[in-house]
Structure 1
Amino acid sequence: MLLRMVGREWGRVSVGPEAWREALPVDPDIGSYPEPAQIVPARFGRFVRVLPLSEQPSGTGAGGPAAFAGGAAAPTGFGARLRRAVLGAPLRSTAIARERMRKLVALPVLSADALSSVAYGPEAMLVVLVLAGTAGLAYAVPVALAIAFLMLAVGLSYRQTIRAYPHGGGSYIVATDNLGRMPGLVAAAGLMTDYVLTVAVSVSSGVAAVTSALPGLNDEAVLIGVLVIALLLAGNLRGVRQAGAVFAAPTYAFVVAIAALVAFGLYHAAGRGFEPVPTPQLHAAEGVGLLLVMRAFASGSTAMTGIEAISNAVPAFKPVPWRNARTTLSWMIGLLVALFAGTVAMVHLEGVIPNSQETVLSQLAHRSFGSGGMYVFTQAATALVLLLAANTAYNDFPRVLFLLARDNYAPRIFTRLGDRLAFSNGIIVLSVAAAIVYVAFEGRTASLIPLYAVGVFLAFTLSQSGMVVHWWRRRDRHWRKSLCFNVTGAVLSALVFVTAGITKFTEGAWVAILAVAGFLLVTTRIRRHYDRVTAALRLHPQMIEIPGGTLPPPPDPCSPAHGGRAGLKDAENAKNTDDSEEEDTPEEIRHLSVVPIDALHQASVRALAYAASLQQPVLALHVSPSDEDAERFREAWLLWGDHLPLRIVVSPYRAIVAPLISYIEALHHQRPDLTITVIIPEIVVRHWWHRVLHSPLAGRLRRALRHLPKIVVTTVPFHVQEGALRTERPPQMAGLSHND
């Protein structure tokens, strides 16, 4: 075992682990974070205060209102002040508590994307059929019935997905688990295309609802849409979440509005014996044929977007989560079919045709309600639910990017939480991509729909195909029934995907297909780079990094670990000293080297060897997201030989950097007289375009710790070139950068 071999070499040149521990001038056990189960939000909040790492939690260890970052210097520059004003203060001392939603809250929150598609799905179908004139519109009801059947089939298929994946089963996870990595990446490409277009289409449809009520704003539609996307960006960077009655209200308002519209329309139609109103005389641009009908079917099927949202969010439900999720999904499918079918029925009965100046839904509302309060309510509810549907993508897109980055298919910066505990980098990428697409297609929903269908049904097809393989392998109770449901969903989804790809290729579907191909190319090349770096970091017998026979310094009499009342008293006095830097000679400077490491590999062992060669006390620091990860690292450390003091911090955050900063701050507050040198292993790549794939941890630590005196951040470079690495020995390391 290479770790054991490296450990033996260390033992040959270094004193025993106890001597290193005796030399520590601090007590590394400075508290811990509360268990995740202990983090309970206040009655009306999502954020809970987590006690600082230097304090031991008492009782529940959490509670009370959200608290902002403490201890950090207030922003002084204009850019910092502007960022704080727009995005809010950092939430470094808070954690997000997982909310458990009731079905009545989960239904509108998770169904907004699917239900809001009623605002543009029927119209997208009619826009295609109207090309064949009056004869084409006669196919609206049969095509709508086929789409309703597809909704039921796919909905029943996702009920099986929820049963098989009670902890959440998105298309990327299901396809990867059952079909392999490449199908999983294709599913992720379809999902991410879907989320970008969800924002663009929802915003364009919302703006169309506004301009239908206020025609004077028609010329400003593109600008309004871009401003809405900017508003969504700012709100999500601040950490806005979809939760609670506030976010449920727009969806319920939209359902009430459409139900009232259909009810009033049917009442009026009943007065004339349900005789359809004749449509205006239309000139056919092309004849009715199978190709036209299939195009209309593919366009109208975009009303199914968002169906998989509930299967992704199973853990968010109250117990029993999977059962409540299945029930909520059934309610959503029932509402979606009813609203979609009701809208198409009203179109047929009222003789409404698509109009570039006014949406189909607005025309129906005018005929049912006139121009009074109910019309305004319907248009406002439509705009709000579409805005909420766009915001749904801001929760899901960054999460898919996080999963890809975790699997080394995307830059690791997408695993990072921002100051407001949101995946800020993913949110920014989504906003920029959606804005580009929106502007490129001038905010026209009809032009965006052809792109939409490809990504949506590509993800549906692979997810349902993955479930077919899952049931075939498992063959547990009721597996045949579940397999039949998923086979039906997979076949129908594949039919829509192929139809949309072929019939709408020249209308814009080629853009979505090209985006998927480009996504696969980029992600596979990113994975190849990370695999090369991993191979270069792997420990090799011929490249064992050792500290060159150095010895630690004699024990510090001020160290509490050294024992005795005098040592404790001196340490207490050191806490009360001013944080000014007043050492005049090298002999007056007291040192501690802290080496953050994520795993034991060539770069981290090199950093440890460099730290040990400085003949100063060394403390290795590992921040772990879970107890299981912490135990695995502890086992590897013991196998290496436990030569240096180690502190493992198990964090309740999904982030690693914030707890790392908190721990270093706690060490400084424990011994403000110490000069703490943070030694970070740094991956140095040859090409500039590879730099974005490696997180610049040193820069982030410098910015976060700059307000504290006597903190030095330095890097130990590890060069990776074409799969090989340079072999500088630790004592001769060059190119060290530092902040003092």
Structure 2
Amino acid sequence: MISRFKRLLIGRPMKSAELEGERLSKLKALAVLSSDALSSVAYGTEQILIVLMAAGFAAVWYSIPISVAVLGLLLILILSYRQTIFAYPKGGGAYIVAKDNLGLPTGLLAGGSLLVDYILTVAVSTSSGTDAITSAFPGLHEYTVPIAIVMIVFLTVMNLRGIGESASILAFPVYLFVTAVIVLIVAGVVKVILHGPHSDIPELGTAVSDISLFLLLKAFSSGCSALTGVEAVSNAIPNFKKPEVRNAAMTLVMMGLILGVMFIGISLLAYWYGIAPDPKETVVSQITDATFGRGIIYYAIQGITALILFLAANTAYAAFPLLAFMLAKDKYMPHAFMVRGDRLGFSNGIIFLGVLSALLVILFHGDTTNMIPLYAVGVFIPFTLSQLGMMVRWIRLKPQNWIFGLIVNTIGMLTTLCISLIFIFTKFTQIWMVFIFLPLVIFIFYKIHQHYMNTADELRISIDKEKPLIKGSTIVVPVAGITKVVMHSISYAKSLTDNVVAVYVGFDEEEIERLEKKWEEWNPGVRLIVLRSSYRSIIRPIVRFIETVEWKTQETDHITVLIPQFITKHWWHNFLHNQSSLLLRAYLINQKDVVVATVPYHLMR
């Protein structure tokens, strides 16, 4: 039943040879890998306005030059990551760049930051999508967390079905969102041209007494949350169809152009309409209302915006498993993240991402505003390290036209470093946990790596010197009575060796005497050893007996404990029987250097 449900949920298993067909074209890749960056126009401008409102409504005009500055940084990041794509065609983004040029600890910092960022991407995107829904339908405010979790489950299942299928599903809403925002911007600009901007808006250049450089930098750093997701293309180059590098570079440029147009358009409309941030209604909702009124078009755009904000999390689902795979390949994450599932995706990474992001939504009660600073810090640290790593690479290799690349990366590094520092100093109360969580993640990376190295050292053999040691075999069969299960186990044991002994643990003298007499009558050709237990423990006497046998035969025999176990027809029947065989098996495997085997006997009724 479980297998049928799994097939219904994620589809038929795919052959490894079908992996090439799962690679993405430019249009599908743009939908999958750019959904996070493109969707951020729904809250990027709003984050700028929230900060500026601290100086009063008169300061909202600063949102325009700040938005232009954000576009400048976007241009630098696009140029920089385009260079990264050509320099590191196997993907990996900031992790590989930092590890290759700045050393392993810095690489792990970048990789850990990106992993945290992708988890936050899912949490922020689904929470933002929920905000768009509750702006249109205020009665749903109290269901913010359940709505977000349902969407995370949906995205997790969709990605378990394979990146090719998820891309096909995602492409339509992404391009529908881009079309809707462009229509909104064009309609809004036409309305401003025909009717003029809002009469109360402050003119560009208006003096504001409470404004400060610190506040402007804080607003700029908040607006840079619109740039999250830009690095995803460079991380996921292996997902592209051939030629992977050229297709990835073109996709990155397309994403930058679309993002830039939509972001500046929303910022201009917010200024012209005199929009102020409202905790119960998003800026995009207010712009749409002012442009079209609360009619069919308004609800259509809000629905599409909510949908794309939910689906923006898919960028993380595409990039997180690949990054986890690279870290696992370097032995800094569990090897389970290297395993492809039935649909050729890295299923364990997808499930892990879904579970952690759902926990974050619950922890923050679906509050986007509180998560965005963490989200931005998580991405700007890798931005900075990636730029610095590329700077070192240009200086070290000095390829043709390396000066231009060095200048671009230097400007980018200084800008993203400033933004990171602004976030740290201005929103420390909201992001302090990053300084606990990131070192903890890196510590876990090192402990995982140490475990793999220690395991390799202990398992490694010298082919020239070490050969298998040939010994005899002694088999111990724990029995609870004379049954077909025991008979089946003894028959199997006798087929392997003549050194077989049955062990029975008794609590009552009458029961022991009865079993000994019955065993003698049965006479299976195996000696029965009876162990008396004064404290009603089965495991302890058997373990002591095995230790005795092991001590006597350690030079001549391998010890095998053959555990008889009947398998019930229905899973719930297991609750009707004690599980002493499972407990004994678990204890012996973890505590003793003996072979532990189970002989199953399947019940038919």
Residue 597 of structure 2: aligned partner: 737
Structure 2 residue aligned with 1:465: 388
- State how 1:166-565 maps to structure 2 within 5 Å: 166-239=89-162, 241=164, 245-272=168-195, 274-278=196-200, 287-506=210-429, 508-539=430-461, 544-548=466-470
Residue of 131, 148, 164 corresponding to 2:54: 131
Instruction: Flag the 1:257–1:401 CA change in 2: closer, same or farther, 3 A.
Output: same
Q: Name the CA distance, whole Å, in 1 between partners of 2:149 and 2:250.
A: 37
Q: 1:100 to 1:423 in 2, by over 3 A?
A: closer
Check 1:287–1:438 CA distance in 2 against 1; reply closer, same or farther (3 A cut): farther
3-state SS of 1:737 partner: strand
Deviation at 1:511, TM superposition (A): 2.0
Shift of 1:420: 4.3
Q: Distance in 2 between matches of 1:166 and 1:127?
A: 39
Question: Any idea what SS the aligned residue of 2:56 has?
Answer: helix
* Distance of 2:447 and 2:242 partners within structure 1: 42
Partner Cα distance (2:145, 2:494) in 1: 65
Q: Deviations over 1:434-482 (max 9, x none)?
A: 1222122221211111111110101111112111122222222222212
| TM-score under structure 2 length normalisation | 0.74
After superposition, give the CA deviation of every residue in 1:681-706 in whole Å (9 maximum; x if it has no partner): xxxxxxxxxxxxxxxxxxxxxx9xxx
Q: Tell me how far apart the structure 2 counterparts of residues 339 and 357 of structure 1 sit (CA, whole Å).
A: 23
Aligned CA distance change for structure 1 residues 211 and 495 (closer, same or farther; 3 Å) = same
Counterpart contact for 1:233–1:428, Cα < 8 Å: yes
* 444 and 540 in structure 1: CA distance in 2 versus 1, 3 angstrom threshold: same
TM-score (norm 1): 0.61
CA-CA distance at 1:161 after TM superposition: 0.8
Any conservation in 2 of the 1:160–1:486 contact (CA below 8 Å)? no
Give distance in 2, aligned partners of 1:237 and 1:357: 34
Whether the 8 Å contact between 2:85 and 2:249 is mirrored in structure 1 is yes
Higher alpha-carbon deviation: 476-485 or 446-455: 476-485
Which is richer in helix? 2
> CA distance change for structure 1 residues 480 and 542 in 2, over 3 Å: closer, same or farther?
same
Alignment of 1:72-111 (within 5 A): 75=1, 80=2, 83-84=5-6, 87-88=9-10, 91=13, 96-98=18-20, 99-111=22-34
Aligned to 1:138, what secondary structure does the other structure show?
helix
| Identity, % of aligned positions | 41
SS state at 2:275 partner: coil
CA apart distance, 1:94: 6.2
For 2:360, what is the secondary structure of its paired residue? helix
The answer to whether the Cα contact below 8 Å between 2:31 and 2:167 also exists between their aligned partners in 1 is no
Describe the shift of the 1:87–1:183 C-alpha distance in structure 2 as closer, same or farther (beyond 3 A): same
Which position in structure 1 is the counterpart of 2:570?
A: none
Q: Is the 8 A contact 1:86 1:234 kept in 2?
A: no
Gapped runs of 5+ residues in structure 2?
203-208, 473-487, 498-566, 568-584, 601-605
Q: In the superposition, relative to structure 1, how do residues 345 and 584 fare at CA in structure 2: closer, same or farther (>3 Å)?
A: closer
Using the TM superposition, give the Cα deviation of residue 81 of structure 1 relative to its aligned residue in structure 2, in angstroms.
5.8
Match in the other structure for 1:658: none
Amino acid at match of 1:469: V
1:351 CA displacement: 0.2
Q: What is the aligned length? A: 493
Contact 1:416 1:423 in 2 (8 A): yes
Indicate whether 1:148 and 2:71 are aligned.
yes
CA distance, structure 1, for counterparts of residue 92 and residue 144 of structure 2: 37
Distance in 2 of aligned mates of 1:331 and 1:89: 32
Q: Would the alpha carbon gap of residues 103 and 423 (structure 1) be closer, same or farther in structure 2, given more than 3 Å must change?
A: closer
The structural deviation recorded for 1:583 is: 13
Given that residues 457 and 496 in structure 1 are in contact (C-alpha distance below 8 angstroms), is that contact kept between their aligned partners in structure 2? Answer: yes
Q: How far apart, in 2, do the equivalents of 1:542 and 1:719 lie? A: 30
Corresponding residue number in structure 2 for 1:55: none
Give, in whole Å, the separation in 2 of the partners of 1:441 and 1:586: 57
Larger Rg: 2
Alpha-carbon distance in structure 1 between the residues aligned to 2:8 and 2:589: 39
Q: Which residue of 2 aligns with 1:596?
A: none
Q: Secondary structure at the match of 2:279?
A: coil
Counterpart code for 2:368:
T
Amino acid aligned to 2:247: N
Shift of the 501–110 alpha-carbon distance from structure 1 to 2, 3 Å rule, reads: same
Q: Summarize the Cα distance change of 1:270–1:93 in structure 2 as closer, same or farther, 3 Å threshold.
A: closer
Unaligned runs of 5+ in 1: 1-74, 281-285, 551-581, 592-702, 704-714, 721-725
CA RMSD of aligned residues (A): 3.3
